[in-house]
Structure 1
């Protein structure tokens, strides 16, 4: 069964808005911000794959693989940074890390 492109794009838009809401609402919690960014990247990946399926091109799948690779690298670095900051400050509250500027 082929899902219409409009439904895929609506789902991708809803996921993107949910991820953006997660980033904007929980700006003080670094882990929730990372989860929101992951949801937004998955929404973009879904839109690429849906478009590629609609037009019969493999470009969307290639972009999806690139997004997966980029996301895995981003998650590993970000979680390492969160663990380091939690050990240093005993919190994951982003407001506590203002002394790291400049």
Structure 2
């Protein structure tokens, strides 16, 4: 089985305290072998999305999935998993 590098995505972020303070963060997706459509769902959800994995994708992501995700019942042949990336950043700082 060939090792794959995680896809890097850039998402908007905020510092969590000042709604005017925004920026961008780059994350490595926690799963590999995702389709363009699955990556687009993560981008559209700004880092928070439920995606359906095929049995082949589940197989190549064994180390990245929790036991409950691996055992969840398939919906239309897909295992549903949540990708939730932290989009809190501290560009503005608390001393301003």
Give the TM-score normalised by the residue count of structure 2: 0.29
With a CA cutoff of 8 Å and minimum separation of 6, indicate the structure with the bigger relative contact order: 2
Question: Between Structure 1 and Structure 2, whose CA radius of gyration is higher?
Answer: 1
Larger fraction in strand: 2
Larger fraction in helix: 1
Give the TM-score normalised by the residue count of structure 1: 0.28
